[in-house]
Amino acid sequence: MPEPSDQPVALQIGAGNIGRGFMGELFAAGGYRVTFVDVDDPLIAALDDRGAYDIHHVTNAGDDTVRVTGVRALHASDTDAVADAIAVCDVACTAVGVRAMEAAAPMLAAGIARRLVRPDAPPLTVITCENLIGAGAHLQVLVWQAFMNQVSAVLVDHDTFEHQVGFAEAVVSRMVPLVPKETRRRDPAWIACEPYARLPVDATAFRGPVPPVPGLEPVPNIRAHQRRKLATHNMSHAACAYHGYRAGHEYLWQAMADAAVLTTVRGAMAETGRALCSRFGFDPGEQRAHEDDLLARYRNRALGDQVVRVAADPLRKLGPDDRLIGAARLCLEEGIEPIHVLRAVRAALAYDHPADPSAVRLAAMLAENGRGHVLREVCGLSEADPLFARLIKPDDAREAPAP
């Protein structure tokens, strides 16, 4: 465990792929000591015993290792220690997954209660690295409810709470593949990722100055960047996987080397890119550069990103506001025909990997009740929706993409 110092401290709740594989690195680069909170016993022991860990940046050019030092780790069950850490940290962050946000709220509430009892306590901003639009507001409500429900909580009015504690949503785009079980057994703290290090955050939600963390990009309209993540990154990632699966590819980089897959993925990105520029005012040149950067990142062989991992859970990814249907709807709303995006939707509807429970259920729904039923129940489309009419037509996912 590192010795105490005058360095500022970042409290990272969740030491998994994003917490350890992204935020820990960014905070350390900004001069922060990082205190991790997690429930994984071997991981917590490894981080706390060593006081450091390595991040392997993997690219087609090789492996560049970055060492993160000044690390401390706490088990989430050690509620007093976690509350004390939250009470004195300089910035906090969650990367626990949407389902675990409710479990993170009481520990944040306990720490904030201890923090606010100090009249000289500086404000605190909690950055939320969660895959949920509105995660900041959602976590704020959960923490306030937990704050009020805790018997030991200091009575503070809601206005003071909101003034002193901010919840800033972030848009996470770094790709961190799952660590193989054998590697985790050998070294619980081992992590590899791509070197991409940009993190748009909601500039309006910070209490006090934005931390001087390299890669942190305060933006005035976080919703625009969240929609871009969904309609550009998530949509094209899924499109590459579903088309790649139909073409028989195992890895994402193989799908990107397939001219037919690349053409239709690039076409889908161009459609949503025009829609995003129209809706939110993104610069067209910057948007195209963003798309080109993503395509280059998908070609990263060293990540070993499997098609079936990216394609997993098609029922969720075909949801009414998710990456495929949501992107297609955005295009139509901006007067753009989503020809290539709809090809990705059809490829997703045809995804039938036998080891994916969601894909198996989707295939059963199609076989038993037909495509119209899936469009209504999974995609949230009524017969009157213009997307319904386009998608109820015979599957053309095997057609050669238009130039």
- Residue 359 near residue 353 (C-beta atoms within 8 A): yes
pLDDT of residue 400: 38
pLDDT of residue 118: 83
Confidence of residue 148 (pLDDT cuts 50, 70, 90): confident
Chain length of the chain: 403
CA distances from 40 to 94, 102, 166, 177 (A): 15, 18, 27, 18
Cα angle 179-306-194, degrees, rounded to a multiple of 5: 60
Report pLDDT digits (tens) over 353-372: 999 999 999 999 999 999 99
pLDDT of residue 147: 87
Taking all residues of the chain, what is their mean pLDDT, rounded to a whole number?
A: 93
pLDDT above 60: residue 151: no
pLDDT above 50: residue 188: yes
pLDDT above 80: residue 82: yes
Q: Which residue has the higher pLDDT, 183 or 148?
A: 183
User: Which token pair is 192?
Assistant: 């590899």
Instruction: Please state the rounded mean pLDDT for residues 232-249.
Output: 98
pTM over 0.85: yes
Confidence of residue 396 (pLDDT cuts 50, 70, 90): low
User: Which token pair is 390?
Assistant: 């386009």
Report pLDDT digits (tens) over 109-133: 999 999 988 888 899 999 999 988 9
Percent of the chain scoring above 70 in pLDDT: 95
pLDDT above 70: residue 192: yes
Confidence of residue 401 (pLDDT cuts 50, 70, 90): very low
pLDDT of residue 402: 39
pLDDT of residue 90: 97
Report pLDDT digits (tens) over 302-327: 999 999 999 999 999 999 999 999 99
Give the separation between CA 66 and CA 154, rounded to whole angstroms: 41
Instruction: Please state the rounded mean pLDDT for residues 95-117.
Output: 94
